[in-house]
Structure 1
Amino acid sequence: MIIKNYDLIKQLLKRDILLRYKGSMLGFFWAIIQPIIMLAVYTFVFSVIFQAKWGMSESTNQFEYALLLFVGLIFFNVFSDVINRSPGIIIANTSYVTKVVFPLEILSIVALGNALVHSLISLVVLLIAVLITYGSINWNIVYLIPMIYLSVSLLTLGLSWFLSSLGVFIRDLNYLISIIVQVLFFMTPIFYPVTAVPEEFRLVMGLNPLTGIIENARNIILFNEMPNWKWYFTSLGISFIIAILGYAWFKKTKKAFADVL
């Protein structure tokens, strides 16, 4: 599907990114400036004001905590940006449904592509900060980080297909999804490690695919460790199943979009 519609996806992705910065003076440079500013804000607020520590560790300095937090946000934002948009993707492009023959499933791919572009820019900012802080980078990220992106992309894409379809029939869905994403934000180990969670709740945390994705990203980027393969393959397996089911649901229900819209 992606290969077949590659040129169309490329054009729509370019348009989607340009529309995001349309009318702004700095344009696409905001994609570079924003993560730098946010990293500075996280460092000040959580490390200077709250004097937060990572789990039970007393050795984590102020900037290291900001990096730990930033890793989690980079990958969670890929998920949240797309999921928050998903219920309105089809509704915002009704002309593609009613007037032309168009592969509607690529709209979610375009939204994911937009989120990934901005995520990669933030990742570059993070790696520069890691190099300044630690003096070196774990070059295993060249092949390990794409594996992490594969998992989060499958999870996000599958849910996006499901929600974009459901959003056509349930117009209030976007309000519910925004609440769920906010709850999930605090139920995912972004501000804290999994080890800080009481033992009886860790199994539930492990069922959240984002847990393994974010924890492994930290292991690779900041701790110079190999991924926890149990977490990785659990997250990848769940993400793959969700992607298959989401695509199947979308293909089955899109025939009714024109009648509703």
Structure 2
Amino acid sequence: MRLFEMLLKKIFTYPVFVFRSLILNKELIRQLTWREVITRYKGSYLGILWSFITPMLMLVVYTFVYSEIFNSRWPNQSDNTMQFALIIFTGLTTFNIFAEVVSRAPTLIINNTNYVKRVVFPLEILPVTILGSALVQGAISLLILLVGNLLTQGTLYWSNLLIPIVLIPLILLALGLGWLLAALGVYFRDIGQIIGVIVQALMLLTPIFYSSEAIPEYLQFIYWGNPISSIVENMRQIAVFGHAPNWEMLFSNFAVGLFIFFAGHFVFRRLKGGFADVL
């Protein structure tokens, strides 16, 4: 009975511990995140302007390729080629936030061994800074998306205000997996190669370039088993179509994301004591 009470107390106090740790290190997180953003374009003439130029160029490419070459149209939507490009752009922007964190996480600690040797440095903030950098790029892409939507539809939707809420499960999921993979990557160096393949496969299995309605009935389990799918679907609904999100999917994604978030942080803290010995 005593053990059960201690376990229950740990479960309820651990979330407080995690968020308190992040809040206490918020200034360090801000500085390292900004450094990540600047380093991405360090040495280039246009610098951070590439954060705006790259997604704009990609939007133009999507519009041309899918409308003019593939002559693609989204089911039950207008023949507006710009809107089709925005639909694709929304899904890819959402997925890229997740992919950026997960792809870089396995080598994150290995590439920052100087921090491992600093006893007082909070290593758990490293995946947070990668997420912060990905969110900055994602925010710029979403801003371009909203401008494109305004030009296409002539208006912005009230549902656009829900974009941060729909992104919360994605943030929790990406950060939880970031902590988990960052810790495992120290002990299993091959995991970086494996994750690279998985991320590429996951991008194709997520309905980004096609509608979820195009997935055959007998393969629907792939859609429902992939939490990124429903997040991408909800982002399209609120950002491009102006509809309310599927609240059931949103709450389900939030529950899964919250579990992965705390589980990833717990594993990271349990394993980080051995980082110095391995490295």
Report the TM range for the smaller structure's normalisation. Answer: over 0.9
Read off the aligned partner of 1:217 and give its amino acid letter: M
Read off the aligned partner of 2:137 and give its amino acid letter: H
Aligned-pair Cα RMSD in Å: 1.2
Q: Secondary structure at 1:10's aligned position in 2?
A: helix
Q: 2:63 aligned with 1:43, yes or no?
A: yes
Quick one: which of 67, 71, 74 aligns to 2:86? Answer: 67
Q: Deviations over 1:149-169 (max 9, x none)?
A: 111100100000000001001
Q: 2:127 aligned with 1:112, yes or no?
A: no
Q: Deviations over 1:181-224 (max 9, x none)?
A: 00000100101111111122223311211111110011101111
Between the aligned partners of 1:7 and 1:222, the Cα distance in structure 2 is 35
- The number of aligned residues is 259
Quick one: which of 125, 139, 143 aligns to 1:124? Answer: 143
Q: Secondary structure at 2:88's aligned position in 1?
A: helix
Whether the 8 Å CA contact 2:105–2:179 is kept in 1: the answer is yes
Between the aligned partners of 1:66 and 1:216, the Cα distance in structure 2 is 17
1:230 is matched with 248
2:257 is matched with 239
**Structure 2 unaligned residues grouped into runs of 5+:** 1-20
- Superposed, which structure 2 residues align to 1:109-258 within 5 Å? 109-142=128-161, 144-258=162-276
1:95 is matched with 114
Which is worse superposed, 36-45 or 12-21? 12-21
2:24 is matched with 4
Give the TM-score normalised by the residue count of structure 2.
0.90
Q: How far 1:58 moved relative to its partner?
A: 6.9
Identity %: 46
Read off the aligned partner of 2:109 and give its amino acid letter: I
Q: How far 1:52 moved relative to its partner?
A: 1.3
Q: Secondary structure at 1:8's aligned position in 2?
A: helix
Give the TM-score normalised by the residue count of structure 1.
0.96
Q: How far 1:47 moved relative to its partner?
A: 1.2
Query: Are residues 236 and 58 of structure 1, via their aligned partners in 2, closer, same or farther at CA, if it must alter by over 3 Å?
Result: closer
Read off the aligned partner of 2:83 and give its amino acid letter: E
Structure 1 ranges of 4+ moved more than 6 A: none
Query: Are residues 59 and 99 of structure 1, via their aligned partners in 2, closer, same or farther at CA, if it must alter by over 3 Å?
Result: closer
Q: Deviations over 1:102-142 (max 9, x none)?
A: 11110000000000000000000000000000000112322
Whether the 8 Å CA contact 1:159–1:246 is kept in 2: the answer is yes
Whether the 8 Å CA contact 1:98–1:258 is kept in 2: the answer is yes
Between the aligned partners of 1:113 and 1:204, the Cα distance in structure 2 is 29
Q: Secondary structure at 1:105's aligned position in 2?
A: helix
Whether the 8 Å CA contact 2:62–2:85 is kept in 1: the answer is yes
Q: Secondary structure at 1:42's aligned position in 2?
A: helix
Between the aligned partners of 1:153 and 1:115, the Cα distance in structure 2 is 10
Between the aligned partners of 1:170 and 1:201, the Cα distance in structure 2 is 32
Whether the 8 Å CA contact 2:237–2:245 is kept in 1: the answer is yes
Between the aligned partners of 1:204 and 1:234, the Cα distance in structure 2 is 16
Whether the 8 Å CA contact 1:86–1:164 is kept in 2: the answer is yes
Whether the 8 Å CA contact 1:206–1:231 is kept in 2: the answer is no
- Superposed, which structure 2 residues align to 1:9-24 within 5 Å? 9-24=29-44
